[in-house]
Amino acid sequence: MRVTGLASGLDVDQVVKDSMKPYRIKVDQTKQKREIVEMKQQLYRDVLKDSKEFHRKYLEFSNQDSLLQSKNWGTTTFESTDSGAVSVNGLAGGKAENYKVSVTQLASKATTTLKTEYLKAGEGFALEMAGTPIPTPISIGVITADELKDPSKLAERINKELLLGKIDVTVKYSQFSNGLVFESGSMGIGTVDKPNEFKITGLGNDKLGTPIADLEAKGKNSKATITNSRGESKDVDGSSNKVVYDGVEFSFNDVTTSEVRITGKTDAKATVDKIVLFINDYNVLMEKLNKMTSEKRNKNYMPLSEEQKKEMSESEVKLWNEKTKQGQLYRDSDLTRIANKMKEAMRSVPGASINIEKIGIKPVKDYESKNGTFTVDVDKLTKALESNSEEIMKSLIGLPPEGTPENEKASKTGVLQRLKDVIFDETVTVASSLIKRVGVEGSPSVSNNDLTKSIEKYNKKMEELEKDFARREKSLYSKYAKLEVIMNKYNSQQSMMTQQMGGN
């Protein structure tokens, strides 16, 4: 605490504060500029976050609920009398039909278990995969005492040796099986040239001296019979436990003891609901972009200084900050470009097989906040899907055939595929110009981007200004301290003179 001005009668703190106002304004203005950049960066990142989530939810193929998955365009549902054995899913184009299904065998990988009791320290064994280019078996080297004690270490070594030998078999130690479980990478019986079979040889003798027989493993094909309501049958013999006939996917989960009855009915509700949710979320994202780029900035609202915040209530500060954020991205080139590309992607292209307006997805006639958004006529969309779901799916998620001329690609690329490309290129991939500019939280770009570098420059400038401010402030206090010393001397001299004159 400074105690000054006793001799001079000046309010030194106030005098210094008033003298330093121009320098404090410089510091506050630099801080305001930094905070505006931080606001913009956060607003950009909010857009990136929303856009990335939209892409993940609807347009990322690896997401099982994505609209790019053809299985999510089915307009039929099926009930099974034994879904534990046979389950059925209607795909795009699949019609409501009744079936009878019997499953006598499931497809499986080639697998066998080498019991730990057959493993001996100092000995090894070999594995031979049928149809591999290497005719001789892969030799598994001598088993060590440490591997015998911990078979999981032996499994790890065997996997490396099989990988080097290009053998499509993996092994893991199982306590339940009490041994090493060997399993081929593929299912089914394989082909004539490359059957899905392997065997383990060279196991030596058991404790009684009897040679241990080779362990053989063979993959199995699924075997089933599917009969439709017209009595037409399909015999299944394949390497998968899933087959698709006439747009209907049959999944074999277990062997049946009796015929499983499948009942189908037309029901586009699930697909319609997905499309409605997609359009709603698309509209929210588009309206956000429209608002950010069209809302003008009120320059009377600037970031508050600490002194200003002290004079306001918490709710007043919050409201002020919201007003300050408004219009910061007015006519922003990046967001405007992204919004325009999204609108272009969702626009019906001349020559496309289906116009989205004809199936009930219509653009909103509003050229302000709702520009580029859509409404959905649920009844119209439902009827369209029930009558022609496969063609609608192709028009929305289809890709142009290989060799399609460049000038025809747009009309043969689905609306959602075009939208996916825009959102991925602009807001998901690290190569995006916007991500390079603002960075994404949770990635290396969070600290390596243009706006963060700009913020760091402001931080450095503020540090220099604060040092200069402190230096000038200290200098002023020093000057007034010297004035106090002089005034003390003057007052002391005056007092002595007064006493002397009074003494006479």
229 SS3 class? coil
Same domain? 428 vs 344: yes
CB 427 within 8 A of CB 434: yes
Q: What is the pLDDT of residue 1?
A: 43
Same domain? 248 vs 392: no
Q: Which of 426, 450, 474 marks a domain boundary?
A: 450
pTM of the model as a whole: 0.73
Same domain? 290 vs 431: yes
Residue 8 lies in a domain: no
Q: What is the pLDDT of residue 502?
A: 62
Number of domains in the chain: 3
Cα–Cα distance measured from residue 382 to residue 90, given in angstroms and rounded to the nearest whole number: 16
Same domain? 408 vs 434: yes
CB 84 within 8 A of CB 304: no
Residue 340 lies in a domain: yes
Residue 363 lies in a domain: yes
> Which residue type, as a one-letter code, is found at position 122?
G
Same domain? 227 vs 213: no
Q: Find how far residue 482's CA is from the centre of its chain.
A: 65
Q: Which of 155, 373, 206, 353 is nearest to 283 (CA)?
A: 373
Let me know if 500 is exposed, middle or buried by CB neighbors in 10 A (0-12, 13-18, 19+). Answer: exposed
Q: What is the pLDDT of residue 10?
A: 63
Give the relative orientation of helices 333-345 and 21-54 as an angle to the nearest 10 degrees: 20
Residue 314 lies in a domain: no
Per-residue pLDDT tens, the chain, 504 aa: give them. Answer: 454 544 455 667 787 677 767 777 788 889 999 999 999 999 999 999 999 999 999 999 999 899 999 889 989 999 999 999 999 999 988 889 999 999 999 999 999 999 999 999 999 999 998 876 655 678 888 999 999 999 999 999 999 999 988 899 999 999 999 999 999 999 999 998 889 999 999 998 887 888 999 999 999 999 999 999 999 999 999 999 999 999 999 999 999 999 999 999 999 999 999 999 999 999 999 999 999 999 999 999 999 988 899 999 999 999 999 999 999 999 999 999 999 999 999 987 766 677 899 999 999 987 778 999 999 999 999 999 988 888 899 889 989 888 888 888 888 899 999 999 999 999 999 899 999 999 988 888 888 999 999 999 999 998 888 888 788 788 777 776 777 677 767 766 666 777 767 655
Q: Which residues are within 8 A (CB) of 2 and not within 5 positions of it... i.e. 6 or more apart?
A: 12, 13, 477
Same domain? 240 vs 366: no
Same domain? 354 vs 278: yes
Cα–Cα distance measured from residue 346 to residue 373, given in angstroms and rounded to the nearest whole number: 9
Same domain? 132 vs 119: yes
Angle at 438 between CA 436 and CA 439, to 5 degrees: 70
Let me know if 168 is exposed, middle or buried by CB neighbors in 10 A (0-12, 13-18, 19+). Answer: middle
Q: What is the pLDDT of residue 373?
A: 96
Residue 6 lies in a domain: no
Q: Which of 427, 450, 473 marks a domain boundary?
A: 450
Cα–Cα distance measured from residue 276 to residue 378, given in angstroms and rounded to the nearest whole number: 8
Q: Which of 450, 475, 490 marks a domain boundary?
A: 450
Same domain? 375 vs 409: yes
CB 328 within 8 A of CB 43: yes
Range of the domain at 372: 24-64+271-295+330-450
Residue 145 lies in a domain: yes
Residue 176 lies in a domain: yes
Same domain? 30 vs 176: no
CATH assignment at residue 132: 3.30.70
Residue 310 lies in a domain: no
Q: What is the pLDDT of residue 3?
A: 47
Same domain? 235 vs 377: no
Same domain? 30 vs 57: yes
